[in-house]
Amino acid sequence: MFFFDPVYLIFMIPAFILMGITSWYVRHAYTKWSKVRASSGLTGAQAAQQLVSRAAYIGTDGSTDLRGVRVLGIGGNLTDHYNPQDKTLYLSPGVANVPSVAAVAIAAHELGHAMQDAEGYIPLRFRSALVPMVNIGSNLGWILILAGLFLRWTNLAWLGVLFFAGGAVFALATLPVEFNASARAKAMLTTSGIIRTEEEARGVSAVLNAAALTYVAALITAVLQLLYYVFLVGGIGRRRD
Ligand SMILES: [Zn+2]
């Protein structure tokens, strides 16, 4: 029923537009730099494999050890991710099998997450710890808001809003994790010599910055959604007084 609230649209239309623009921008940067061949001639999978062996070697003197990190393929487009449960980097065909600037940028970014995992990087651990809370919170939040509004029990509805705030906190906690993975990617690619030219460095930045923008858009969306619930429950509270 809230979905058809025109006020909801006032809050969410800017978010939908922003999400649309950023997702277009990611696809644009990805398509553009997928056509630019990496001068190393390495595909995303080869670059990742090379960086894993290099880090495994460095790891023997105490820095980040990526021994045991596997690189596997996964179907789809831009489905690339690192899974900390099985210590595996999953790369999509457009990244794994293509020797492009975009492919090595994305592969190195996901490897950045593997490094964070191996090091027990605090922002990553904080974000992972939020996951179960956010899952429970977003479901329970709805129930509490609905029940609070139905029972005219404003405090219960506010508790629901508080549970919902977990989603915004999660989106905020995602930013340092993503920015850090991209910074690691840029450093790894340059120091390993996989990225050599000025143009390649520009391409890596363009692809990774575009991806970072989507996380900023997700945060803005989560905040707008939260503000809508604050407005909704606040309005009911005022009407009752
Ligand atoms: Zn990432």
Q: Any catalytic annotation for residue 199?
A: no
Tokens of 88: 């595996």
Find out whether 182 and 208 touch, Cβ atoms under 8 Å: yes
Confidence at residue 133, expressed as pLDDT on a 0 to 100 scale: 84
Confidence at residue 62, expressed as pLDDT on a 0 to 100 scale: 53
212 CA to centre of ligand 1 in angstroms: 8
Give the residue ranges of DSSP H helices in 151-197: 154-191
106 CA to centre of ligand 1 in angstroms: 9
Q: How many helices (H) and strands (E) are present in the chain, helices listed first?
A: 7, 3
1 CA to centre of ligand 1 in angstroms: 35
Query: Nearest to residue 114, comparing CAs of 49, 191, 181?
Result: 181
Q: What is the pTM of this model?
A: 0.88
DSSP 38: P
Q: What are the mean pLDDT values of the chain's consecutive 10-residue runs (241 residues total)?
A: 72 91 95 96 96 71 74 93 94 96 97 93 93 85 89 91 90 95 94 93 97 94 92 73 49
Confidence at residue 134, expressed as pLDDT on a 0 to 100 scale: 87
Q: Which of 110, 119, 178, 200 is catalytic?
A: 110
Confidence at residue 8, expressed as pLDDT on a 0 to 100 scale: 84
Q: Cα(207)–Cα(29) distance, rounded to whole angstroms?
A: 5
75 CA to centre of ligand 1 in angstroms: 18
Confidence at residue 64, expressed as pLDDT on a 0 to 100 scale: 72
Q: Cα(46)–Cα(62) distance, rounded to whole angstroms?
A: 24
